[in-house]
């Protein structure tokens, strides 16, 4: 029986060694900057945004949209050599300022697409940063629970030893076993949570690789600039609404061009088809050959009802764009102030756990272990102290994560400067 167990163990270890590279070969270690760059390069929304910019640039070529050139050939056998017997070429043009206004509108639309891409990039940086530090936070929770697993395992070992020696009863051993198993369950949950966050990061990066953070432990982000200096109009989202307002103004300018006249001209060349004279008309008076004529005209709008209505509607659009811009700027200021308050709360909690809480948890664990082994405290007090210590460690990790997430949100609202 023992031989079978040994053989099974050897087989299991061998399979683990052989299959481990295949199972975990897709994992890759990346820094936050590398994750962000990978997302910018591969994210489908970013790719779509870059194509939209190129499309808007292509459409700028439609600014000089000149009507089709009309070409006609006519021959009237009943009129001899009149102008009806001719080749004619005609073309119409808008007033010159119309083309300039259209080009200005199309350039503004291109700038809007650039601003939209900046917004997408800003949001992507926020999501990648938040998920990356959430991954570090989950990793820290696993580390804490693994350390507790070692402590609870030692507690269970001592309880089993005391039970065998008759120093304690079954109740202490049962509680030690319960504590150990409950921590194992929490550890499994933490590991699954870690894997779920990895999948979220993969989705944002559009990759099949499971990313491992390069940092060995949960770190605290730096506040690199004063957060009170905030101008929403200089953020990517602020630029989007500024460009929307510009587009509405440019569109109004284009519509106003409808009051201007348009021009047309035509060139006509007499063209008699020899041998085609079914009515035997006398053409001797045209024996000096073909001649060319021209025609120039102007189209003046006399009825302005429709144009006046379009202009009024375009002015409404300008007003709507201005109001929307003001509303978004106000909302952004309120959101920024809200996260400033969250930042202050998170910083206070972080300062407490950094200066006192973390050290207290370590002291509680160390003193409780020594006291329990010496018999100075019973197992009930020992269990309570261990739970208190692990709770403090988890709260400390949570305080770091809350602080980091508020920094990430403030950076996002600032435009990730």
Residue in the structure block whose two tokens are 């994560």: 401
27-30/210-213 β-pairing: parallel
Tokens standing for 272? 């008699």
| Residue 417: pLDDT over 90 | no
C-alpha torsion 14→19→21→23, nearest 10? -140
- Residue 324 CA to residue 300 CA, distance in Å, equals 37
Provide the pLDDT for residue 323. Answer: 95
The CA-CA-CA angle for residues 34, 232, 235, to 5°, reads 30
> Quick check: helix, strand or coil at residue 189?
helix
Cβ atoms of 159 and 172 within 8 Å: the answer is: yes
Dump pLDDT digits (tens) for 220-253: 988 765 666 788 998 999 999 999 999 999 999 9
For the chain, the average pLDDT equals 82
DSSP 220: P
The DSSP secondary-structure symbol of 356 reads I
Spatial strand order of the sheet with 86-93 comes to 70-74, 86-93, 262-270, 292-299
pLDDT tens by residue, 286-327: 555 555 677 788 878 777 788 889 889 989 999 999 999 999
* Domains, the chain, with CATH or none: 95-260+301-414 (1.20.1600.10)
Residue 87 tokens, joined: 């080749």
Most confident of 98-102, 141-145, 221-225, 373-377: 141-145
């Amino acid at each position: 029986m023992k031989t079978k167990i040994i053989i099974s163990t050897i087989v299991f270890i061998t399979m683990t060694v052989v299959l481990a590279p295949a199972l975990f070969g897709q994992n890759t270690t990346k820094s936050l900057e590398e994750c962000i760059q990978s997302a910018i390069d591969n994210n489908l929304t970013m790719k779509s945004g870059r194509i939209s910019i190129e499309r808007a640039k292509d459409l700028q070529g439609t600014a000089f949209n000149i009507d089709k050139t009309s070409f006609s050939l006519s021959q009237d056998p009943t009129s001899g050599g009149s102008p009806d017997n001719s080749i004619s070429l005609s073309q119409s043009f808008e007033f010159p300022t119309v083309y300039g206004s259209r080009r200005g509108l199309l350039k503004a639309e291109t700038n809007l697409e650039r601003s939209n891409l900046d917004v997408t990039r800003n949001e992507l940086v926020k999501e990648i940063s938040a998920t990356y530090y959430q991954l570090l936070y989950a990793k820290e929770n696993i580390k804490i629970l693994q350390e507790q697993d070692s402590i609870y395992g030692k507690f269970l070992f001592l309880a089993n030893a005391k039970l065998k020696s008759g120093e304690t009863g079954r109740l202490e051993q049962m509680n030690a076993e319960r504590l150990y198993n409950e921590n194992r369950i929490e550890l499994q949950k933490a590991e699954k949570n870690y894997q779920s966050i990895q999948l979220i990061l993969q989705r944002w990066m559009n990759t099949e690789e499971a990313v491992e953070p390069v940092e060995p432990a949960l770190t605290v982000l730096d506040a690199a600039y004063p957060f009170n200096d905030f101008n929403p109009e200089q953020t990517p989202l602020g630029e989007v609404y500024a460009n929307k307002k510009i587009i509405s103004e440019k569109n109004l300018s284009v519509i106003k061009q409808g009051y201007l006249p348009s021009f047309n001209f035509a060139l006509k060349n007499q063209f008699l088809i020899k041998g085609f004279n079914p009515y035997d008309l006398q053409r001797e008076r045209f024996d000096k050959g073909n001649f060319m004529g021209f025609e120039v005209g102007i189209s003046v709008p006399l009825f302005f009802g429709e144009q006046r209505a379009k202009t009024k509607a375009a002015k409404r659009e300008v007003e709507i764009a201005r109001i929307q811009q003001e509303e978004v700027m106000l909302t952004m200021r309120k959101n920024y102030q809200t996260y400033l308050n969250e930042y202050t709360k998170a910083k206070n909690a972080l300062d407490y756990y950094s200066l006192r809480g973390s050290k207290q948890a370590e002291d509680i664990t160390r003193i409780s272990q020594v006291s329990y082994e010496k018999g100075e405290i019973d197992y009930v007090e020992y269990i309570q102290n261990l739970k208190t210590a692990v709770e403090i460690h988890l709260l400390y990790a949570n305080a770091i994560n809350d602080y980091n997430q508020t920094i990430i949100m403030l950076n996002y609202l600032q435009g990730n400067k």
